[in-house]
Amino acid sequence: MLSNPLRVAVAGLGNVGVGVVKILEKHKELIADRAGREIVITTVCARNKNVDRGIDLSSYEWVDDATQLADMDNVDIVIELIGGEDGVALMSAKNTLNNSKSFVTANKAMIAHHGCELADMAQKNDVALRFEAAVAGGIPIIKAIGEGLAANELNLVYGIMNGTTNYMLSQMEARGLSYTDILAETEELGYLEADPALDLDGIDAAHKLAILSSVAFGTKTDFDNIHIEGIRNIETVDIEYAKELGYRIKLLGITKYEDGNLSQRVHPVMIDRNLPIAGVMDGFNAIVVDGDFIDRTFYQGRGAGEGPTASAVVADIIDIARGHKGPAFFKPTEKLVAANPVSINQRLGEYYIRLHVQDEAGVIADITASLTLANVSVKTMLQKGNERDGTVYVIMLTHDIRETAMKDALNRINELPSVIETPLSIRIEKL
């Protein structure tokens, strides 16, 4: 065992930061044995020193400005748990790496947008940049892809990458709650990000997908070309019809790479209820990876929370204590490829369509005419009325069609006078 300890500064003392302190204190001897050297916290940093965080921080030096941590003589490695795409977090990262000190973060937004730049800085300064905790919390998916599956050429990665929306969809199905009702409950439970749009609109999942694409395929992070949709338009009626048709609705991130072309998308999907990932409920995450020699691997676990995320952070610290400094994206930065983005408009597949229309003569004929004009072929149609208000839900499943044809059909249908609310479509994925 090395005699010199690894001296750690923790910037950000929210749930995850407190969790990191707890783990390093509780498992001090276990971690030292596994790391080959002692790991000690010397310094901590947060916005407010006077908050009761439920742990004793008196033995650590307090610093108010996270960007100063890398300049301190008693700090070998900075752990950033502040969050945010840029600002203090990004300044802290750059200062740390430029000072030839290793940097660990759980900040998915920052890595999704600036990961390649930071990886290049780490490489030039011969230090480590690690971000296992940025994706899927307690699932060690980055290590699994970059190390365990390193002998494979990977072509497809998909999964449930946001536990909050998975919880919401699960509860809507299990308890018959509306989106509005489950949203209010989720807010009360404190499951949503400070900016709820990050969860509800798929942005959080897209940050993680951008990172996984780069780790899996050796491409440069390209958040700007991810197609992103959230779950705001999903209602109980869609979940009920999905069940009747043999599907379950999930918010998935899907990335495919072939011949230099990269498809990245986050949106609700309908998938076969018998698939393993369809059975992943509540706040859990799950990732599926396809490779040429391993076929398909499946990873499931808690995607957020103090314990799982802090565990991933400490795992990165242990790696650095062992002397691991390899490339952040498992390839030298000069070999990361700028892939050609594939538009969602090129998607070919089946779709679920939900229409809410007046229950009157000629409506179905008008809908059918609109579909025909858009070259959309329907293989299944269901119709259920509401005698109280004289309206009906028309549910259709299409044959394989292009995304552009689907958009054309919905635009045409939306112009019909009998349509009460904007039509909804959900992509059916054969995974």
Per-residue pLDDT of 322-377, as tens digits, reads 999 999 999 999 999 999 999 999 999 999 999 999 988 899 999 999 999 999 99
As annotated, the residues of the chain forming the CATH 3.30.360.10 domain(s) are: 141-302
CA distance 41 to 18: 12
Q: What's the whole-number average pLDDT of the chain?
A: 95
Give bridge partners of residue 298 from the DSSP assignment.
288
Residues 201-218 pLDDT 10s: 999 999 999 999 999 999
In CATH terms, the superfamily for domain 345-428 is: ACT domain (3.30.70.260)
Active-site residue flag, 407: no
Residues 311-336 pLDDT 10s: 999 999 999 999 999 999 999 999 99
pLDDT at 390: 85
As annotated, the residues of the chain forming the CATH 3.40.50.720 domain(s) are: 6-134
Q: Which of 140, 131, 187 is nearest to 164 (CA)?
A: 187
117 close to 263: Cβ distance less than 8 angstroms: no
pLDDT at 387: 59
Query: At residue 388, does pLDDT exceed 80?
Result: no
**How sure is the predictor about 384, in pLDDT bands with cuts at 50, 70 and 90?**
confident
Q: Span 2-15, mean pLDDT?
A: 92
In CATH terms, the superfamily for domain 6-134 is: NAD(P)-binding Rossmann-like Domain (3.40.50.720)
Which of 208, 250, 256, 331 is labelled catalytic? Answer: 208
Tokens of 207: 């940050």
pLDDT at 2: 65
Query: At residue 265, does pLDDT exceed 80?
Result: yes
Q: Which of 406, 273, 264 is nearest to 342 (CA)?
A: 264
Q: Span 241-251, mean pLDDT?
A: 97
CATH number of 141-302: 3.30.360.10
Tokens of 48: 């407010």
pLDDT at 304: 82
Query: At residue 163, does pLDDT exceed 90?
Result: yes
pLDDT at 427: 98
Q: Span 396-408, mean pLDDT?
A: 97
pLDDT at 430: 95
Residues 252, 354, 276, 254, Cα dihedral to 10°: -20
Residues 222-232 pLDDT 10s: 999 999 999 99
pLDDT at 383: 87
Tokens of 172: 């809507």
* Percent residues over pLDDT 70 in the chain: 99
CA distance 142 to 134: 9
Q: Span 162-169, mean pLDDT?
A: 96
As annotated, the residues of the chain forming the CATH 3.30.70.260 domain(s) are: 345-428
* Percent residues over pLDDT 90 in the chain: 93
